Amino acid sequence: MAETDRCDVVYVSVDNGDEEHTLTAPAGARLRDVLVRGGHSPHTRLTARANCGGRGLCGTCGVRIDAGPPPDHWHDTLADRWGYPRLSCQIRLREDVRVRLPEKVIWGRREEG
């Protein structure tokens, strides 16, 4: 792959608890959309149908970012600071990222540390 092509694509490593998969996405895509298209929905069975559609209102698309972009908006900053999952609908992919899909009923739990 040419260096100029590399800037147009980002790699998303997804840890779903059982396996790790790698997805490719165009730079600037929303993480939530990439996960859903790649068959790794950040939603639970219940919230897959009952969610805000990526507007950042319901909080059901939370993921853990193990490596990747730092928070860049108020909700993301607070979630990261207090140990809650970050909203995948609010994360624009500008660099490679490693994501864990947390176990949850509706929303993800707080992680200490």
Backbone angles phi, psi at 55, to 5 degrees: -95, 0
In this prediction, what percent of the chain has a pLDDT beyond 90? 30
Distances (CA, A) of 10 to 2, 69, 79, 98: 14, 12, 23, 11
DSSP state of 102: -
Identify the pLDDT of residue 95.
Answer: 92
What number is the average pLDDT over the span 64-86?
84
Residues 6 or more apart whose CB falls under 8 angstroms from that of 88 comprise 30, 31, 32, 35, 42, 61, 62, 63, 99
Helix (H, G, I), strand (E, B) or coil at 8: coil
- Whole-number Å distance between alpha carbons of 17 and 103: 8
Identify the pLDDT of residue 82.
Answer: 86
